[in-house]
């Protein structure tokens, strides 16, 4: 598949530098088998030129740098990148990498291998190899081939053109109704929550052909309720909701190949970081010979309970 890796930057030079250095350790970037496109948001506090200079002075190969002419905000920035890469440039899939994730050298090899494996299933949605799984390297090593259903944050993931074509009507409707002609940080939260409730009432779609077809007990609604004052209204939340109503399952490896360090940001503080359980991430490097070539779905925890998760 023709693959693009899209990164996103707005300020936070130290964060972006750490992400960029880790991206440069991935062999697929170094040998040019993926195209790296950097999307740098604009605005007074964007440090856009500093980020551009950082990219250009690094030894990490890239295909292009997209400079936003103004502050798009996270929603229009990420939706716009998917439109650009998958609709307009015709890539078969894209990897989304935000500026607060450190990638293992095995990250892209594992992620793209998982994407290839998942494409045999008509009900597979996004795939990722970032997870919050505590444990020592020795304890986690035997579980590298295990895959779980997830509804966690979209810190970094892979999205194919097939999946995007299914969910983009919902994302584009959300963009048209709530993001155009207003700053992203002033989006109408109550109207968006009303829209989310309407989407949840829609019939969940089915799929033909070979499917993951997990047991009903293994499938979690990312939004079992839409609290009027607190439900998330981000484009990530809408993406998760769109996948769920499309009958597409988000997949992640049980064991992580990346480390999320975004303690401070638009939606994060050290307290939120701890509450979300990110302090429990295993942060280990894996050898290339440890990368699995096939995967097995895991639906129960070690005590035999059904795994479950919701969007947060």
> Quick one: pLDDT at residue 266?
64
Rounded Cα gap, residues 119 and 228, in angstroms: 37
Six token digits for residue 79: 């939706």
Arithmetic mean of pLDDT, 145-167:
96
Exposure string for 220-233, b = 16+ CB within 10 A, e = fewer: bebbeebeeeebbb
Helix 161-178 with 189-200: angle, nearest 10 deg: 140
Per the prediction, the chain carries an average pLDDT of 94
Confidence band of 312 (pLDDT split at 50, 70, 90):
confident
User: If you search the block for the tokens 């701890």, which residue do you land on?
Assistant: 274
Residue 40, pLDDT above cutoff 90 = yes
- Residue 281: pLDDT band with limits 50, 70, 90: confident
CA atoms within 13 A on the CB side of 256: 22
What is the C-alpha to C-alpha distance for residues 101 and 78, in angstroms, rounded to an integer?
16
Q: What is the pLDDT of residue 45?
A: 92
Q: Express as a percent the part of the chain with pLDDT over 70.
A: 98
pLDDT tens column, 184-234: 999 999 999 999 999 999 999 999 999 999 999 999 999 999 999 999 999
Confidence of residue 262 (pLDDT cuts 50, 70, 90): confident
CA torsion sign for 167, 168, 171, 176 is negative
Domains, the chain, ranges and CATH? 3-297 (3.90.550.10)
Asked if 46 contacts 71 with a C-beta cutoff of 8 angstroms, the reply is: yes
Mean pLDDT value of segment 102-127: 97
pTM of the predicted structure, to 2 decimals: 0.95
How much is the average pLDDT of 150-156?
90
Please provide residue 13's backbone torsions phi and psi, each rounded to the nearest 5 degrees.
-55, -40
pLDDT tier at 265 (50, 70, 90 boundaries)?
A: low
| Tokens describing residue 280 | 């429990």
The CA distance from 173 to 157, in Å, is 22
267 pLDDT higher than 70: no
Rounded Cα gap, residues 167 and 237, in angstroms = 13
Task: Output the pLDDT for position 271.
Answer: 78
Strand-pair partners of 93? 3, 160
User: Sign (positive/negative) of CA torsion 252, 159, 53, 62?
Assistant: positive
């Amino acid at each position: 598949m023709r693959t693009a890796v899209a990164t996103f930057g707005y300020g936070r030079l130290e964060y972006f530098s750490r992400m960029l250095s880790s991206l440069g350790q991935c062999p697929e970037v170094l040998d040019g088998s993926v195209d790296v496109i950097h999307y740098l948001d604009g605005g007074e506090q964007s440090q856009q030129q500093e980020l551009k200079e950082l990219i250009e002075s690094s030894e990490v190969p890239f295909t292009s740098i997209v400079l936003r002419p103004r502050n798009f905000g996270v929603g229009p920035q990420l939706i716009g990148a998917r439109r650009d890469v998958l609709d307009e440039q015709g890539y078969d899939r894209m990897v989304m990498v935000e500026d607060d994730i450190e990638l293992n050298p095995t990250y892209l090899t594992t992620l793209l291998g998982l994407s290839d494996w998942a494409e045999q299933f008509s009900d597979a949605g996004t795939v990722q190899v970032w997870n919050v799984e505590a444990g020592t390297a020795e304890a986690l090593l035997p579980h590298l081939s295990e895959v779980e259903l997830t509804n966690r944050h979209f810190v970094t993931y892979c999205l194919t053109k097939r999946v995007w074509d299914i969910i983009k009507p919902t994302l584009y409707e959300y963009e048209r109704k709530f993001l155009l002609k207003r700053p992203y940080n002033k989006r109408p939260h109550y109207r968006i929550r009303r829209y989310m409730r309407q989407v949840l009432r829609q019939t969940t779609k089915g799929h033909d052909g070979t499917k993951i077809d997990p047991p009903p007990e293994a499938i979690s609604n990312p939004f079992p309720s839409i609290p009027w004052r607190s439900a998330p209204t981000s484009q990530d939340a809408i993406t998760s909701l769109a996948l769920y109503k499309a009958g597409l399952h988000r997949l992640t490896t049980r064991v992580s190949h990346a480390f999320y360090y975004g303690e401070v940001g638009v939606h994060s503080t050290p307290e939120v970081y701890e509450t979300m359980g990110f302090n429990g991430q295993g942060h280990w490097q894996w050898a290339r010979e440890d990368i699995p070539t096939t995967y097995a779905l895991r639906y129960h925890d070690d005590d035999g309970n059904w795994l479950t998760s919701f969007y947060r």
